[in-house]
Structure 1
């Protein structure tokens, strides 16, 4: 296995008219605010808890399962010091007659936006606050740092309530949701997050932006390597007849509609790399089962990557043909077998934060 990093760094080990990029499935393990929204966290291996270790006491669990279903209309969102807080019957949720319980998912639009309608196969960029309805305690908030989280609505690891309720909303909407335990962390709960197996979760979510997951294929450019890719397995790259480059070549193969990648951002990608001299694959992230992440422009990867991905759009697939001097140079210490080699990469840009 060959990484893309400098010495001492250890990176993580178009079929039709519209081409789908690789899913963001494994990104949940890399970013806590996003991990919280993934149903994968429900499994015991992901930090789940049984009734003896969950935050809720047996009395709370019994009250939750047997109690009435409360009305989401009685919950309001107020701003305190620039951050949202949830009030229940006019007072902070934590001071109310807990637990707050719902037996089915409830969703209420608080403010209507004027942007594009969200589709069932979109990436949706959101800010959100999550509160435990049993304890009234805040679990996760992205508002304190003003960060956003991008949700892939086709990703089956995303909580079903979001896959079901976000399509049809609009950019600029703010939404309040209540999720029963069975639609959230279920019988395992989450000890790490302080969520018991019977806890209702409350979400306040602001929909910032959206764009289609599928990008538009770009017509091949004569003289460059040809590529076959399904977004799920390593790309097949044919370099026959391709001349050595005089300078870095950056050519989108699929044009995504996400935000442009900027210097200093952390980017998550899938990639496949071959040597231009013989077309032999020397590395691919697909064989490791998770995207590769790095900070753009920070010298964590070869120069051809640092330069070539800036300004490209999220959900694009990009062909990089990199001269040896912008790859590993003539005599690299970390990857001597790539010394003096011109390299070809196909890079799928999954997300950037």
Structure 2
């Protein structure tokens, strides 16, 4: 029987192309759009008024015969069409109906997609090139309204086309960083791969830990109780899976979402726990943004896993200075991190990776 929870769901961390503007230049923010207009380059107003809608979603299609999908216009490669393609409003169409689970408005949805700028024909982003996918959180108010309106009610296996004017996504200024001008239209081809409720704790098969490691008691909803009595200081990183998740392996460069508890090996004192802040933590992994023990201990683990890490000081916050004099920097200040020289123990639930 299939679990109602999607076991291999990645973190709902949408790439920048999916993130809507914080304001659309309306209401109380009208002055900000006036400022933008005042500083725009000559000819911008003319371009804005000349970009009359000429694009019909019904004329678009997708060629899936090649190695990766390609957008078409009237059956020909999109870039060969009578550009620019300008849509009057956000629209969507189901090209192929899937028969998988239905997407709910509380779900995370794993998708592959291709995005093209309708004005230039340029490809903005494609996950098909490297056979990747991203996950969209339907409860995230920061992503495009088109996705939170269109995807709930769709099914796994659906293939969708969407046209989204830049103003509907980013506001009146568009998004120059992505190469999307104020009057451009973005065209999305999207495949719905998987859907399910977000993981809130590790889920999978329990694993019997090796002897001599810290013992762990946790309900997955609050900080873990970690007993370090009698545990020897490690001379290298120790990784122990406590629950084997069924999700994809974490890859260096991804952003992962975790719940965790950390204690000092020397005395078992808790120094940090994401549970105390009431929500999971997200960060890039395997790229030097966190301590080495996390980079090395979490890359290669599976989403859904609970992992025990015993980390020597040199892979945490560094070895302790040899004497008190060395403990101070050149300006007479003590080390910035009080965990310097401490071996650390973490229990980490990997809730997603994208």
After TM superposition, the score normalised by the length of structure 1 is: 0.67
1:61 correspondence with 2:42? no
Separation (CA, whole Å) in 1 of partners of 2:339 and 2:94:
58
| Counterpart secondary structure, 1:171 | coil
Q: Which structure has the greater CA radius of gyration? A: 2
The residue aligned with 2:19 is 38
The residue aligned with 1:243 is 229
Separation (CA, whole Å) in 2 of partners of 1:55 and 1:272:
56
Tell me the CA shift for residue 95 of structure 1. 3.6
Number of matched residues? 310
Match of 2:248 among 259, 265, 279: 259
Tell me the CA shift for residue 244 of structure 1. 4.3
The residue aligned with 2:118 is 133
Distance 1:43 1:129, change over 3 A: same
Tell me the CA shift for residue 90 of structure 1. 3.4
| Counterpart secondary structure, 1:184 | helix
| Counterpart secondary structure, 1:146 | coil
| Counterpart secondary structure, 1:187 | coil
Instruction: Say if 2:255 and 2:282, in contact at 8 Å, map to a contact too.
Output: no
Distance 1:330 1:301, change over 3 A: closer
| Counterpart secondary structure, 1:188 | coil
Gaps of 5+ in 2: 26-32, 209-213, 233-237, 322-334
* 1:139-288 aligned within 5 A: 139-215=124-200, 224-226=215-217, 236-239=223-226, 243-245=229-231, 249-252=240-243, 258-261=247-250, 266=254, 268-270=256-258, 271-276=260-265, 277-281=267-271
Separation (CA, whole Å) in 1 of partners of 2:40 and 2:201:
48
The residue aligned with 1:322 is 310
Bigger mean CA offset, 103-112 vs 318-327: 318-327
Bigger mean CA offset, 77-86 vs 105-114: 77-86
Deviations 1:55-77 (A, max 9, x none): 9953332133xx34643111111
The residue aligned with 2:345 is 344
Deviations 1:320-344 (A, max 9, x none): 2627599659956797945463x33
Gaps of 5+ in 1: 1-17, 29-33
Separation (CA, whole Å) in 2 of partners of 1:56 and 1:226:
65
| Counterpart secondary structure, 2:112 | strand
Separation (CA, whole Å) in 2 of partners of 1:136 and 1:56:
22
Instruction: Say if 1:55 and 1:191, in contact at 8 Å, map to a contact too.
Output: no
After TM superposition, the score normalised by the length of structure 2 is: 0.67
Q: Considering only aligned residues, what root-mean-square deviation do their CA atoms show, in Å?
A: 4.5
Distance 1:256 1:191, change over 3 A: same
The residue aligned with 1:31 is none
